[in-house]
Structure 1
Amino acid sequence: MSAAPARPAPASRALAVWLGAMTAYVCAVAARTSLGVAGVEAMDRFSMSAGVLASFSTLQIGVYAAAQIPVGIALDRWGARRLLATGAVLVAVAQTGMALATGLPAALSARVLLGIGDATAFVSVLRLLPSWFSPFRIPLFTQLTSIIGLLGQVISAVPFVWVLHRAGWSAAFAIMAGLGLAAAMAVGALVRDAPAPEAAGDGAARARTREPVLLTVRRVLSSPWTWLGFFTHWSGAGPSTVFTLLWGVPFMTLGMGMTKAQASAVLVANTAAGIVLGPLVGQLTARHPRGRVPGVLGVAGAVAVAWSAVLAPAAPAPAWAAPVLVVVLAASGCASSIGFDFVRQGVEPHRLGTATGATNMGGFAAALLSVQLIGWLLDRGSADRAYAWPDFRLAMAVQALAWAVGVVGVAVSATLIRRRAGRVV
């Protein structure tokens, strides 16, 4: 049911629109992951425990997840260009707030604002794809969107960390704020919602102005396609988000005994693995749509095996285990994007923004649960904040709860679609 361009857009113009939108998404990812790589410095700057640090990311993820359906509704009515530009400005303001914050209330307020701005980026880029690219190319560009967005993680893991360690907290976050403003200008210059006004297509523009908001939400949330997308994203993006957003660097440095430079290199390896695996996943899902659900469940199984292998030994895992783990987590992140293929297939075009937002909630809801539980268990296991391998070993294992929910959700949703529509997905 996904919308397609009313007439083919020139490839160069479509790429320019997509790349302009991607600047906002890359900056949003860099801002989102900046606290994770600065987690140890944040605990020192604000004199806080691991549990309080977890509350930063929990709050940010919670705001991000809660904003997805409102953002999706706004996206269906006002278009991606407006939301992308507005979100990039909010990210810039939030990073400025982090640069100036000296106490917890100001820092928490900045992360709330960042969660709102960040919430507009990914779903807006995905909403542009049906207007600018053919249906066969959309799975590939969905994967490329996720992959190139990971460059934001490289920005936070390498140049941001370099500035943080040499120029300090305020300078590092101020530079990130400048990147957000640059992204807003790029969106204004390059991004358009469709090749031409009529290319919004097949009455969708008229429908989105008529349909009541509550009806849109009810129809989206009653569709098993939405829930299949949601739990696909939950099981795929949840594990990778927990690692890259907050607990990966502390786990590697405080738990495994790696240096900060080694931990940063592992995060870069995660991005590199995603760049290699993403296009492959996109091509496979386009050519073999019936393999999507088995593929999602297979990757979830690989995540369980990888984490079990890392956490099983009583002694800290060797340094080489971290790159192996993040390759599996990169595959998991790529698999999460299959959820957006499901909603494009089963949800009406004029509700696609709302359904995309609901799907995108999945991974961040899973991460919200896991991040907070990990922080709580770390504090419970080490009252003096001297976190070590036994503390991390127990705390990181709690991700098994979210994993089980995701696997069951995918299986149940796919079964409902088969029963209602008589279709194998």
Structure 2
Amino acid sequence: MSTDPETVRPAAVAAVPGQRAPVAVPAVAPVPAPGGRAAWFAWAVAATVYVLAVIHRTSLGVAGIDAADRFGIGASALSTFAVLQVLVYAAMQIPVGLLVDRYGPKRVLLGGILLLSLGQLAFAFSTAFGPALASRAVLGCGDAMTFISVLRIAARWFPAAQNPMVAQITGLAGMGGNLLTTAVLAQALHSEGWTASFTAVALLGVAVFAAVALLLREAPPGVTVVPPVAEGRPALRSQVRDSWREPGTRLGLWVHFTTAFPAGAFGLLWGMPYLVEGQGLSRGEAGGLLTLLVFSNMVFALLLGRILLRSVRARMPITLTVITVTATTWAAVLAWPGATPPTWLLVTLLVVMGTNGPASLVGLDYARAHNPPTRLGTATGIANMGGFLGIVTTLLGVGLLLDALTPAGAAHSADGYRWALCWLFVPLAFGTGMILHLRRKVG
């Protein structure tokens, strides 16, 4: 299958029979993506939206205990917030991919900013479980519209060989948003309160919307992106079907599924409660460890990006190594006598989980490399569903087990968290099996 970036062509003028004046039609020769400073500027403007989306996405991770108190809910109901948000995100990936393919990434990004801001603003003023749950669903829709759009813009501006590295740097930028959440929002919740803190986060969208609307170019100057209608739009069903039939798309989904969810579920919801309630750390100490997860992610994003830039053959070794080391470290933590492992082991766990996000982007690279440009957004959307389906499965499974293992009215114990988090090995084993099965079908 094609591994070229999206075709962009300069407009050429040709005479059309029956008309007095010539009209512009696409030239045949494709123009290679230029890269350079202009490309990085376009990427930076688009990536700002992804940073904003990560701030919104991870805001619940530092507010889990506050949310339980505010709405009077237990672990199962608390996990429902994150489950619904991530489930909506996953369900929106194929529709968003189709929208990007049809209408362009800039429009999709602008729509995503609006939904993110509206969802977070509603969450800021919610005082009951139902409205708060609905607001997180709206936020999940907006979140879903960002990452695929940024990668599509990168594919138009950068040469194909640079796309894996740019994807890793995009993930790195997103971790900057996560860092802002853990370092700033966690403190603001205690000093400024719930409504003021989340309202401030929602209003960040105003500045980002203006930047994208005024500064973002979808393609290099002087180059016309050929709209799908010019080459014949495939039916929606065939677009999705052809993307799914490509083994590289399915392998990408399961790579993303298996590598992304351990750190995703931990950072999105269960990290702070586990460290505070299960390990007896203060909120400050727990926040420091979660910040370590973010920094580790940044370091590994740069490292894996450089490795993939040198050789695409490193994709599968990276994937299997990250899965193995993550599973081994979690096993050591959960099997530690007394259910309270030492600090050095918790630090090791968070450093190791820093590999999860960068490794998950290998899945998107599989989808990109094995699909033609006309369905790149759709294929990327399918692959990008994987990790978030894994996160949903983990959030819900851990929440249900934690409630089942905790007597009514009692606080969650270290032992309860230990047994509930054993659920991680179920999606890890299933996803690894699917990867080993599909790798033989992908050349």
Using structure 1 for the length normalisation, give the TM-score. 0.95
Q: What is the distance in 1 between the residues matched to 2:128 and 2:426?
A: 33
Q: Matched residues in 1 for 2:238 and 2:135: separation? A: 33
Matches within 5 A, 1:325-364: 325-364=349-388
Residues 1:31 and 2:31 aligned together: no
Q: In 2, distance between residues paired with 1:210 and 1:319?
A: 56
In structure 1, what is the Cα distance between the partners aligned to 2:197 and 2:379?
Answer: 36
The change in CA–CA distance for 1:200 and 1:414 in structure 2 (over 3 A counts) is farther
Rounded Cα–Cα distance in structure 2 between residues aligned with 1:341 and 1:115: 23
Task: Report how far residue 190 of structure 1 moved.
Answer: 2.2
Give the 5 Å matches for 1:151-300. 151-196=176-221, 198-200=223-225, 206-207=230-231, 210-300=233-323
Query: What displacement does 1:379 show?
Result: 0.6
1:106-138 Cα distance to aligned partner (Å, 9 max, x none):
101100100100000111111111100112211
Q: In the alignment, is the contact (CA less than 8 A) between 1:16 and 1:190 conserved in 2?
A: no
C-alpha distance in 2 between matches for 1:340 and 1:385:
43
* Aligned 8 A contact 2:34 2:159 in 1: no
Is 1:66 equivalent to 2:91 in the alignment?
yes
Aligned to 2:48, what secondary structure does the other structure show?
helix
CA distance in 2 between partners of 1:19 and 1:378 (Å): 41
TM-superposed deviation, 1:415 = 1.1
1:27 CA displacement: 0.9
Distance 2:298 2:321 in 1: 20
2:151 counterpart of 1:150? no
Q: How does 1:45-60 map to 2 (within 5 A)?
A: 45-60=70-85
CA, structure 1 residues 229+385, in 2 after alignment: closer, same or farther (shift >3 Å)? farther
Counterparts in 2 of 1:385 and 1:218: CA distance versus 1, 3 Å: farther
Which of 143, 146, 169 matches 1:118?
A: 143
Cα separation, 1, equivalents of 2:302 and 2:260: 17
Return the structure number with greater helix share.
Answer: 1
Give the match's secondary structure for 1:35: coil
Question: Alpha-carbon deviations, 1:270-292, whole Å to 9, x = none?
Answer: 11112111122112122222221
CA deviation string 1:353-407 (max 9, x = no partner): 0011111100000010010010001111112240011010011110101101111
Please show how residues 333-412 of structure 1 align to structure 2 within 5 Å.
333-382=357-406, 383-412=408-437
SS of aligned partner of 2:355:
helix
Q: CA deviation at 1:224?
A: 0.6
Structure number with greater Rg is: 2
Alignment-mate amino acid for residue 397 of structure 2: L
Q: Distance in 2 between matches of 1:298 and 1:191?
A: 38
2:58 partner amino acid:
T
Q: Does the aligned pair in 1 maintain the 2:33–2:156 contact within 8 Å?
A: no
Deviation at 1:269?
A: 1.1
**Secondary structure of 2:118's partner?**
helix
Counterpart contact for 2:257–2:388, Cα < 8 Å = yes
Match of 2:343 among 313, 319, 323: 319
Residue 420 of structure 1 corresponds to none
Question: Where does structure 2 lack aligned partners over 5 or more consecutive residues?
Answer: 9-30
Distance 2:65 2:334 in 1: 22
- Write the distance in 1 (CA, Å) between the matches of 2:229 and 2:292: 42
The 3 A distance-change label for structure 1 pair 197 and 392 is: farther
Same amino acid, percent of matched pairs = 36
- Aligned match of 1:97: 122
Q: Is the 8 A contact 1:85 1:187 kept in 2?
A: yes
RMSD (CA atoms)? 1.5
